[in-house]
Chains A and B, each alone.
Chain A
């Protein structure tokens, strides 16, 4: 099945710093989403982005489907950005949403 790897696995930032999270996948996809799992366990939708670039406030995402990766940019990070960031994909061979390994982000004041 499709493999979804995220990097880095852990990231520690000071408030105000910028960061880039990466998601690599091993097969062509027709669905890619980024989620933020907050400390209470809720999965919050950030982006639905099977291709192209989107921006929402301090966050933006880019998916280059032909090269099988997606990037999530966080600018001017805040302590509320802490949590685990997951990318999840649906490959053309299946209609299951498969989650990546996650990036744990800690933002300190």
Chain B
């Protein structure tokens, strides 16, 4: 069974530029999550989808971050314009069930903002 796929693995941009990350969850997983992990900290949830609907985006900085999950499968996370403090690893995860499902993570996309 294929795992969670993410791309790109690495991205370096200058502040005020834009960037987009892509995630393809495990087949059949209805719930998809985007986490942000700053160096030295645990992952922090940014947004959670159930199929193509948003369940929780309370910690998403909506002035610069946006995410969508069209057709309830793939998802894209965009940052525009990027700030220095957005330098982090962006992790995508998926699970079969929302509350009790085991989460599986992709390898992450490492963003450096200069």
- A-side interface residues toward B, CB under 8 Å? 30-31, 33, 35, 40-43, 45, 48, 50, 86, 88, 90, 95-102
Main DSSP-derived SS at the A contact region:
strand
Known contacts A96-B48, A101-B42, A102-B42; A41/B100 CB under 8 A: no
Give the interface SS of chain B, mostly helix, strand, loop or mixed. Answer: strand
Task: Please tell me which one of the listed residues B37, B48, B99, B102 contacts residue A45 in the complex, with CB atoms under 8 A apart.
Answer: B102
Q: How far is the CA of A50 from the CA of B101 in the complex (A)?
A: 11
- Whether B89 pairs with A41 at a CB distance below 8 angstroms is yes
Nearest B residue to A95 via CB reads: B99
Chain B residues packing against A (C-beta within 8 Å) = 33, 37, 42-45, 48, 55-56, 89, 91, 93, 98-105, 107-108, 110
Chain A residues whose CB sits within 8 angstroms of the CB of B56 once the complex forms: 95-96
Complex Cα distance, B99 from A100, in Å, reads 18
Residues in B with CB closer than 8 Å to A48 are 102
Taken together as a complex, chains A and B put the C-alpha atoms of A97 and B100 apart, in Å, by 10
Contacts of B44 in A (CB 8 A): 99
Given A30-B100, A48-B102, A43 and B45 touching (CB < 8 A)?
no
